Structure formats: C-alpha cells, structure tokens
Amino acid sequence: MKKQKHLLYLMLFAIINIANGQQASIPAKVDHSYKPLTLKLDSTGKKFVRLITWEQTWLSFTQNNPGTLDVNGKTQDLAVDLSIRRLRFLIQAQISPRFMIVTHFGINNQSFVNGGGSGILGTGASATGQGGKRPQIYWHDAYTDFSILPGKLHVGAGLHYWNGVSRLSSQSTLNFMTMDAPIFNWYNIEGTDQFARQLGIFAKGQIGRLDYRFHLNKPFAFGIQPTAVTSSSSVNVLNEKWATGGYVNYMFWDKESNALPYFVGTYLGNKKVFNIGAGWYNHQGATASKSSPTDSVEIHNQSNLGIDVFLDMPVNKEKGTALSVYSVFYINDFGTKYLRNIGILNTHGALQTIAQNAETSWSGAGNLQPTIGTGNIWYTQVGYVLPKLKNGTSFMPYATFTYKDFDAIGKSSIQYDLGLNYLLSNHNAKITIQYGTRPVYKTVNNLPERNGSKGEFIIQTHIFL
C-alpha cells in the first residue's frame, strides 16, 4: 500500500515537472498544426473521404469499495492499472453534396482483465483466463445521411448517435473539457443501446439559430422475459416497441456545426457559444417490477427528460484565456426503484470479487457506484483556460459537481471531480490529471446505507488526428 501511494505521488510530481519544463525545453515557435487526413474525390473538395483517429490511455489509482478482492483472492484497498479507455477510427464519406456515409469503429475499456478475450476469470487455484486480451473491434456508428434541404433538413438511418435528452448525450469524445463524461448522460449505456447508439431513423437540421435532432429507434433487445420478473425494483424486460427522442437547442451567439452528431465539449476560446437546450427519450414497456410474489407483473415506460445550458467563450484572445461552463438537469423514470451500478474500467467489479466475510458493499466491488436510475440528477462542469505559455501550450483547470437523488436509495448524494488539462496542442494532444469522488454504500437490512466516499486518481494521455 505504501509503495502504491509513493508511486502515485511520484507520478503526479513527474507530470507537474514535465509540464513546467515544457516552456523551457520546447522552442517557442513549434508548429503543431496539421492537415486533416482527407482524400478529395473531386477538384472542388466538396466530395471527400476523411479519416479521424484518436486514442486515450489511462493510468488509474482507484480506492476500491470495501471488501474488494484482487485476482488472487486477497483484499485490495487500492488498485493500480494501465488501460486503453478508447481507440477509435471514424470515416466520413461525403460522396456527393447530398449523400454522406459515416462509419465509426474501435475498442473501449481494455485493461489487464477487461477486453473481451475468451477464458474464465476467478479467484484461487481455479483462476484462469485471458480476459484483457484481444478486445473486440465493433461498430459505434454506421449510418447514411441524405440532405433534403441542405443545412435545414437532413434525414438518415442506421446505427446512429443523434440522441435526444441533452447536449451531453451526444457528446464528442474527441474534445471533452473533463477527462470523461459522467456516464449517466448516456441513459441506456450498454443496455438497450450499443455504446450509446441505437438502430433507427433520424431527422436533423438548423432553422436560423434553432438546432434540432429527432429520432425513431428500435432499441436493442435487453433484459429478461416479463414473465420471469420477480423483483420489486424495476428491471429491463424484452419487448419490440420503438423509442422516440429528440433534442432542441437555441444558439444565441456563434452557430455550431451539426454535419456530424457529436457536440463539442469545449472550443478552448475558438468560438463564442451560448446555448440553451432541452430534450427527451421515451421507450414504452422498457422495464417491469413485481411488488410481491402474489402480485402480477407491472410494466413500466422509460422516460428521460433533460434541460441544459452551455457557455463557452474567449475571455482574452491575446492571452488565450477562455471560460467553459455546462450545466444539465435530468428527470429520469425507468420504473419503480430502477437502479444500475456502473464502474468505468472496473478491473475488479467485473470479477464480482467481494470477500464473503467482509462488510458488504451494496454497490459491488471495485469502483462500482449508483449511476443510472429513477430519480433526478444535476450535473455541472466549469473550466478555465489559463494564459498561454511562451511555447504555445496552456493549462485548463476544471471542476465538476454532481447531485444524485435516486428513488432506490432514498437519500441524495453529492460528488465532485477536480482536474487539470495540459494542452500541448489544444485537443489534438493533451495530458489530463483528475481526482474524483464517489459515494460508497453498505448493506443494512438489505437496504443501502451511506458509508462515506472513495476516490480515484487518473492520468490520461489523449491524441487525436
């Protein structure tokens, strides 16, 4: 434990010193600009194929939930891991001014135990497997876009990311202001969607300063048969009903592009943006519950509502300073006491390694925490780009605040993240460090009871071309 703490302090010290040393070691006029990877299909450049690729690597130090065991079956308070959070490739093919194909593929969340390789992971003498090897490359987006009224009305179909509810629900992973999204912004994540995407038909466009997107989706089959439901808390059930969703926002200042579905996290002062938006998602018959063994199964509809505000603007263009603020309020109804515990790159929760004789962690092992459920969530993030250094790099400290009030828990919780971006070349090359907290719960009489908080420190390298 002491060695792991010393390693954490050493890494943090190294990051700070490397950043401080950049100003002296890198010439002031280094040109980090590049031309997008684009193949022109005609002399005008209106027909083209563009390739975008990005990769994010995490070095994480996680305070595990009480009772978590490592792969050898020993209690582990602090987990240290090196992981690939994302490795992606996106191809945008504008084959004519009216037709576009978007394909997006890659991997997510490969650690030393997570990744998709075959094998059995466990503890003790029977533990075998290669769970972290050979992760599956799969499609994130695969859709076509047809322009009916260029810029004003486009329709498309396929596996798409034109989501409703909030700006953050269609957030680009290329240009986060924070290290990552809070995850609850993707209300169906790896449930009835495929990494925040569903198969469906969409319409999108801009009319003056009003930006809109609407969809009719066929959610992926996820859950159990309604007749198999025994829980008084709602669970996902299989059905074939379609879902509707949409998001509308008004752009008061600069207009944003909606050629692709991905909302920018922060423009780092390159735009002056102030938007207010609202959206919804509705899926009939998505969940079910059963109050008692003698009662009949009750079917519930899923309803997600969001309202948000986004401010991103330069403060002093000469110095390169900028302010970014985003705030969203969600009203979620998945049915009676619906709740999902989720942990990103949870190397031990995936193994369900909780000691039998330990104080029971209600959320599960590793970094699992209550993330998505019936109730309300308020999330806010604020960041500020500091004056540029002589070599053109800059720092961007940020903070997030999250308020959760889930019906299944009965009491609200507050958590936060504190982070620092070191922008070597804006979003194209950056190093991010972040410390975040999460609530921890123990089980008392089969109910959750708050048991303090745990933290996670992450160092991320991010490169996008």
pLDDT in tens, 242-269: 999 999 999 999 999 999 999 999 999 9
Arithmetic mean of pLDDT, 19-40: 67
Positive or negative, the Cα torsion across 170, 174, 177, 180?
positive
The answer, yes or no, to whether residue 350 has pLDDT greater than 50, is no
Return the CATH number of 37-464, one of 2.40.160.10, 3.10.180.10, 3.30.310.50, 3.40.50.300. Answer: 2.40.160.10
pLDDT score of 86: 97
The answer, yes or no, to whether residue 291 has pLDDT greater than 80, is yes
Q: E-assigned strands of 208-269?
A: 210-218, 235-236, 243-251
pLDDT (tens digit per residue) in 336-345: 999 999 999 9
Arithmetic mean of pLDDT, 359-374: 90
For the chain, the average pLDDT equals 90
Arithmetic mean of pLDDT, 292-306: 96
Distance separating alpha carbons of residues 67 and 147, to the nearest angstrom: 55
- pLDDT band at residue 349 using 50, 70 and 90 as cut-offs: low
Domain ranges of the chain: 37-464
Distance separating alpha carbons of residues 213 and 145, to the nearest angstrom: 13
Query: How buried is 85 (Cβ within 10 angstroms: 0-12 exposed, 13-18 middle, 19+ buried)?
Result: buried
pLDDT score of 74: 87
